[in-house]
Structure 1
Amino acid sequence: MYDHLRKSIESQELAPLERIVQERVAEEMSTSRTPVREALNRLIQDGLVTWVAGAGFFVSQLRRKDVEETQHLRRILEVEALRLALPAYTPADIRHLRSIYLEMVEADPDRADYVDLTRRFHQALVGPCPNELLLKHIDEVWTVASYAKVIGRYGETQESVDIMIADHFEIIAALESEDPAAAITLLEEHLASVHTSITHILAEDEV
């Protein structure tokens, strides 16, 4: 139930400020209100849902500052992790990365788990990094609910998806060519582009 509601929010199936009716969700999921209420309380802790006394549960509005700071942190951590990972890269690591890339190419960007595909690609990209604490912090960045939600919106347009897929392809090509400097530069440029797009998305919400 929790995963279902979270993905619905991250994919914008449930829009910001939309009221979540427990009875309706319970009926759709063929369950009682109890697991729905428990899931909603967890989502409140994640910052994805807000409880308004006398009105009910609502999808939370994004906080621009939180999302931008999270993306900034991600850029710092992920680039450093790739830098440390490169000496340990093997052909098997690149094949794994390419398999996720191909899954993204063939996937429907509108599917609820497309954010998970994006996350899997970037986690695989830095996977060979020997610094386990650094990898843990990167995973924690991806679990910030508001960040995952806006990343889902980044893939709303075909243009954004095409750019993301092209960026991923170029990073893989640099790894296959054993060009570490190019791989790092391409990742830096990709994450900077994502940051710019996220800023535009949040700015539009404020209009």
Structure 2
Amino acid sequence: MELDASSLNRSLPLRDQIYQMVRNMIVMGQLKPGESINEILIAEILGVSRTPVREAVKRISDEGLVRVIAQTGTFVSPISRDGLEEAYVIRRALEMESARRAAPKFDAAAAEGLEDNIAAHRLAITRGRYTTAIQLDDVFHRTIAEICGFPAIWRAVDISKAQMDRGRYMAIPKPGYGDQTIEQHTAILEALRRKDPEGAARAMENHLETSFRNTLEVAENVLG
């Protein structure tokens, strides 16, 4: 288990940092479906008590990323088609509305920020830095939620999309998928630049539907 005690900031809540560490390991595929989550081992590696670890794992369990089996243990949940589809439905509804509401508020500064994001995303894809590419993808979507004036939309999306993210980390190295994302982000940007609410919402829907289809295609062999 790749955990780094030196990355913990002991002056900040440990449960939140441990939550992010373990959640990222699940989402990025470092912890595989069915793999055991050993709270005692995590606590020992990080040099903390079991309490913040238990709290972090409980939060991850609430998101459906792990399963707690009584008298047996805690295990990484399988990736399921139902889980992927549910995440997609929630994300589509929230992000279409986010794009729709961002369009009337879109200005030159916002356009420049998204242009820079797309350029950095394209470079990451070209250089095969797929983790960076996914992080930049998230920044693109989060920025639109911030522009629309409802940053809590992104917080809700970030929690609900964890299952899709597990598939995304498997899907993005596939040739063409990264370029497809860049093209669709550009279409969203152009609709926002035109201050076209419905055009932005449709472009967002098309982008998320494509991501969902691509994720299903790649994840097919591991779906539970």
- How high is the TM-score relative to the length of structure 1? 0.78
Q: Specify the alignment match of 1:127 in structure 2.
A: 146
Q: Specify the alignment match of 1:59 in structure 2.
A: 76
Do 2:171 and 2:177's aligned partners in 1 also have CA atoms closer than 8 Å? yes
Do 1:62 and 1:146's aligned partners in 2 also have CA atoms closer than 8 Å? yes
- How high is the TM-score relative to the length of structure 2? 0.73
Which amino acid is 1:15 matched to?
A: K
- How many Å separate the matches in 1 of 2:89 and 2:58? 29
Cα RMSD over matched residues?
Answer: 2.9
Q: What SS does the corresponding residue of 1:50 show, helix, strand or coil? A: strand
Which amino acid is 2:131 matched to?
A: D
Moved more, 182-191 or 85-94: 182-191
- How many Å separate the matches in 2 of 1:169 and 1:194? 15
Q: Specify the alignment match of 1:142 in structure 2.
A: 158
Question: Please, which runs of 5 or more residues in structure 2 have no aligned partner?
Answer: 1-17
Structure 1 position 193 matched with structure 2 position 210:
yes
Deviation of the 1:88 alpha carbon = 1.7
Q: Deviations over 1:39-64 (max 9, x none)?
A: 22222222111122343221111332
Deviation of the 1:202 alpha carbon = 4.5
Residues 86-165 of structure 1 aligned to structure 2 (within 5 Å): 86-107=103-124, 108-110=129-131, 115-129=134-148, 132=150, 136-137=152-153, 139-144=155-160, 145-165=162-182
Q: Deviations over 1:127-167 (max 9, x none)?
A: 3335x4xx634531321243443344443435322321232
Identity of aligned residues (%): 28
Q: 1:20 aligns with which of 37, 41, 46?
A: 37
Task: Figure out how many residues of one structure are paired with residues of the other and give that number.
Answer: 201
Deviation of the 1:196 alpha carbon = 1.2
- How many Å separate the matches in 2 of 1:103 and 1:24? 38
Q: What SS does the corresponding residue of 1:128 show, helix, strand or coil? A: helix
Question: Please, which runs of 5 or more residues in structure 1 have no aligned partner?
Answer: none
Q: What SS does the corresponding residue of 1:84 show, helix, strand or coil? A: helix
